[in-house]
Structure 1
Amino acid sequence: MAYDEELAERVRAVVDAGADVSERRMFGGLAFLIGGHMGVAVSREGGLMVRMEPAAAAALVDDISVTPMVMQGRELDGWLRVTEAAVRDDRDLTTWVERGVRFAGSLPPKTPKPRAPRRKNARLP
């Protein structure tokens, strides 16, 4: 399942485009990165993935519309999965997106890692 393009447009409208924001397709969804750090993503499973300070994130879990994010069987500290139903209202969407953007923006900008030069296909003897 591909991510919800309409939800992505709604998130895009909330994210401040002037604040070192980039978009990247990740995990089958669309991630919004601030200074190279993912703050929020539109999930291919519906709804959002939101990054926050771990203690604050834990306090928002209700096990219905907000759950801890689990990848490969492991719960990720500071990451929440927010259902589509929880972000239908624009005000609620704005609240969640701003939480993720604020946290990612509080982190020091990532410096791009140098890429190794590409080797041409060498023929084996």
Structure 2
Amino acid sequence: MAYNEEISSRIFRLLRRRKGLSGKKMFGGFAYLLHGNLCCGVRDDYLILRVGPDAYQQFLQSPHTREFAPAGRVMRGWVVVEQEGFEGEDDLQRLITQAVDFTLSLPPKDAA
């Protein structure tokens, strides 16, 4: 399984009304972009979040959270959250909101 489609659907339900939303397969999973900037996604059964450099260390101290290191290369500002960290809809909403807030602080990469 490349990515859990149920988790991807949960993410999409939270993001679907956002302007500039797009999605594509990457990192061996599925990623959501806002105005061309990667925001979040799903790989296997875990959530990938772009939280930015300021919140990065704080996130790494949270339960069920670790560095995102595709192909062994750590991507600072990105974290992985295991399913236990977002079982409840409130937890998923909070995590996605934090990723969206950071991503929207970046300059757009496209006109979407």
- TM-score between both structures, scaled by the size of structure 2: 0.89
Distance in 2 (alpha carbons) for counterparts of 1:107 and 1:16 = 19
- Structure exhibiting the larger radius of gyration computed from Cα positions: 1
Tell me the amino acid that sits aligned with residue 61 of structure 2.
D
When residues 37 and 68 of structure 1 are mapped into structure 2, their CA distance, relative to the original with a 3 A threshold, is same
Distance in 2 (alpha carbons) for counterparts of 1:24 and 1:101 = 17
Given that 2:27 and 2:70 are in contact with CA atoms closer than 8 Å, whether structure 1 keeps it comes out as no
Given that 2:36 and 2:109 are in contact with CA atoms closer than 8 Å, whether structure 1 keeps it comes out as yes
Distance in 1 (alpha carbons) for counterparts of 2:87 and 2:24 = 23
Deviation sequence 1:71-95 (CA, Å, 0-9, x none): 2222211000000111110000001
2:67 match: 68
- Flag structure 2 segments of 5+ consecutive residues without an equivalent: none
Shift of 1:15: 1.1
Shift of 1:63: 7.0
Q: Counterpart of 2:77 in 1: which secondary structure? A: strand
2:80 match: 81
1:6 match: 6
- TM-score between both structures, scaled by the size of structure 1: 0.81
Q: Counterpart of 1:17 in 2: which secondary structure? A: coil
2:94 match: 95
Count of residue pairs brought into register by the alignment: 111
Distance in 1 (alpha carbons) for counterparts of 2:43 and 2:15 = 16
Shift of 1:62: 2.9
Work out whether 1:32 is the aligned partner of 2:32: yes
Work out whether 1:49 is the aligned partner of 2:48: yes
Given that 2:63 and 2:85 are in contact with CA atoms closer than 8 Å, whether structure 1 keeps it comes out as no
Given that 1:15 and 1:98 are in contact with CA atoms closer than 8 Å, whether structure 2 keeps it comes out as no
- Flag structure 1 segments of 5+ consecutive residues without an equivalent: 113-125
Q: What stretches of structure 1 move > 6 A for 4+ residues in a row?
A: none
Distance in 1 (alpha carbons) for counterparts of 2:56 and 2:31 = 18
Query: What is the alpha-carbon root mean square deviation over aligned residues?
Result: 1.7
Deviation sequence 1:37-89 (CA, Å, 0-9, x none): 11100112x21110012121211213750111112222211000000111110
Tell me the amino acid that sits aligned with residue 109 of structure 1.
P
